[in-house]
Amino acid sequence: MAAGMAAATAVASSAARNIPSTSAAVTSLRSRPGCNLFSRFARGRGGRRRSKARVMRGGRACGQGGAGTFDATACIILPMTSSRPDARVIVNPAAGGGAAARLWPELERELGRRGLEIDIARTTGRGHGVELARAAAEAGTRLVIAVGGDGTVHEVANGLLRAFDADGARSTLGVVPVGTGNDFVKMLGDLRDRRRAYDTLVTGVVQRFDVGVAEWDGGSEFFVNGLGTGVDVEVVRQIQRLPRLPGVLGYLLGLMRAVWRFRAIPLRIRLDGQEREKRLMLLAVTNGRCIGGGFHICPSARPDDGRFDVCVVDELSRLQIARVIPRVLRGTHGGLPMVELRQASFVEIEAMGPEALFFQLDGELREPGTRRVRVRIRPAALPVLLPADRGGRA
């Protein structure tokens, strides 16, 4: 157990000193077979496993309805107690068309079987996940688990990072994907099988991911997968008006509707000091490979190399768009003359037309009314749990 605790301490210490990512930062939560970071919490006297999924409603414990049935309605955040749980689970009940809300009993059962003691909290509106994650991190919770889609991951990651802004996150991010796109978890390995996702929360390895910071007049925000402007923003608007559809299908339908309305926008962009001004269809600044549930917009991107991958798409006709889309799905668009793929650690985007600059962060639309946004990389700022068989390779 001492080795496992030393590994966890090393991760936290690295965050506190803001040490860049190295091979030493990829740390297993298992010190040896049968021993993991949470062993001393997950086992009671005599080595027997115990499980407590603590939820609160109206100031008292909840989760059990009449006749022993599970009741997740009106549950709110549980305050941290002196017997700190192994993990805080943050559920977005709206994720996956309401699928996440139905996972409460499964979460308690499956994580309990794996010996993990948890607190469960649900989000009640936009931005609530940030508050819940930040409170958990500030209370010293080692693992904070996002149950939902990319929007949920975005909020939870922002909460963890804001808790200790200058030093990077100290709590580790775990994910149970229940969204429609789930682009972030594509960097973690195949977690579509929830049993694999649950196993990862107990037996996974920690890898420190880079994060992006978008800054504009009057605001700033972290992102973990990508920032986009151009037709990407119009796609997000259209998707919000559509009935909920899975992954790529919803993005494709939103894209088709967006293409008929969108016109290329004049932008001035600076990539590590190199400036150009042109009309663009799309500008994507990414840490991950995919957007829109499966569009491989930056197929060579890595979340731990200290650099953004940037995709710049020039103004296109509708016929050209029809030719480019299948290539983007496969990640083979890099050789097209109207597409530029490159890396950068600093990006500045400035609107040159009459309208303000709109953009999306991890699929979340932002319309702050600004004309300029600056995007910086924060290397190795976020500890993330990966499946053990990934060996720390995102």
> For residue 342, how many other CB atoms are within 10 A of its CB?
15
SS3 content of the chain, % helix, strand, coil (to 5): 35, 30, 35
Residue 199 pLDDT exceeds 80: yes
Contact predicate 282/232, CB 8 Å? yes
| CATH 3.40.50.10330 correct for 38-203 | yes
Q: Where, residue-wise, is CATH 2.60.200.40 in the chain?
A: 219-379
Q: Tens of pLDDT along 135-171?
A: 999 999 999 999 999 999 999 999 999 998 877 899 9
Distance of CA 288 to the CA centre of its chain: 10
Min mean pLDDT across 62-66, 113-117, 221-225 is at 62-66
Which fold does the domain 219-379 belong to in CATH? Tumour Suppressor Smad4 (2.60.200)
Per-residue pLDDT of 13-43, as tens digits, reads: 444 333 333 222 222 233 223 333 343 333 3
pLDDT in the model for residue 99: 87
263-299 pLDDT tens trace: 899 999 999 989 999 999 999 999 999 988 778 999 9
Average pLDDT over residues 216-223: 95
Between 320 and 11, the higher pLDDT residue? 320
pLDDT at 252: 77
Backbone dihedral angles phi then psi of residue 371, each to the nearest 5 degrees? -110, -5
Domain with CATH 3.40.50.10330 in the chain: 38-203
| Residue 35 backbone dihedrals phi, psi, to 5 degrees | -125, 125
Q: What is the DSSP string of 43-105?
A: B-GGG-B---EEEEETTEEESB-GGG-B--TT-BPPPP-SS--SEEEEE-TTGGGGTGGGGHH
pLDDT for residue 247 = 63
Query: What six digits make up the tokens of 244?
Result: 């909920």
- pLDDT per residue over 102-112, tens digit each? 998 999 999 99
**Confidence tier at 225 by pLDDT (50, 70, 90):** very high
Please report the pLDDT score of residue 84 as a whole number: 60
Q: Which residue has the higher pLDDT, 135 or 231?
A: 135
pLDDT in tens, 69-100: 333 332 333 333 435 678 999 999 999 888 89
Give the Å distances, CA to CA, from 203 to 4, 59, 170. Answer: 11, 33, 19
Under the banding of pLDDT at 50, 70 and 90, the label for residue 234 is: confident
Grade residue 123 by pLDDT with cuts at 50, 70 and 90: very high
Distance CA 383, CA 208 (A): 4
Q: What is the DSSP letter of 187?
A: G
